[in-house]
Amino acid sequence: MKQTWHTLLFAHWPIAIDKIQPFIPSPLRLDVFEGQAWIAVVPFDMSGIRLNHMPTLPFTSKFAELNVRTYVTIDNKPGVYFFSLDATNILAVKGARAFYHLPYYLADIELHKEAQTLSYQSKRRGSRGDFQFHGSYRPISPPYTAQSGTLEHWLTERYCLYANHKGRAYRCDILHDPWPLQHAEAEIYTNTMANINGLRLPDEKPVLHYAERLEVLTWGLEQV
């Protein structure tokens, strides 16, 4: 499946291994960089969703999304593990839950761009305000490619996602060019997205990166 990701913010926080490890289901293994685990909140806009060699999918080809993620590995293949994915399209939410076993939730999201600044506000439906994000962000550098061996390369250059369903692990491979990263700054006014069963984000400034646009190709799930 092809899709395009737009106006994306990576907001990463370091987190103690013992705080996040209980949320990683076996047989997935928490991946760490120089002994440090990381958790991220990633808001963006998605468009152009279509099957290979097919036109865009009606009613699901464009929507906003916000995910909460960490990083895991199986058989030395590093990937992404999602705690939650909030989106505005109910068909996309139901389809991703059914076919990818991903924890998608329906949300009300408003995304506005003025000059180089993005304003992003999300509230999960039916959550009584427990899962919200409100912030603004902007790029502050020219695009660049992260160098291998650096933290930013480790955080962003991952080419699969993992899901867990009924005690079984699944992998979906992802293909794209290296991320056209930009350094970023942000004002985060509200962020309760990671408040999952007692898990909390550290009280410190996140590591921020921005990407304007990325073309992505995803495959189906395979059990691992």
Residue 62: count of CB within 10 angstroms of its CB: 18
pLDDT of amino acid 198: 79
| Residue found by looking up tokens 């929507």 in the block | 63
Q: pLDDT tens digits for 17-69?
A: 999 999 999 999 999 999 999 999 999 999 987 665 555 555 556 899 999 99
> Is residue 182 over pLDDT 70?
yes
Q: Within 13 Å, how many C-alpha atoms sit on residue 193's CB side?
A: 34
* φ/ψ of residue 180, rounded to 5: -85, 75
For the entire predicted model, the pTM comes to: 0.94
| Domains in the chain, CATH or no CATH each | 2-223 (2.40.400.10)
Q: pLDDT tens digits for 117-157?
A: 999 999 999 877 689 999 999 999 999 999 999 999 999 99
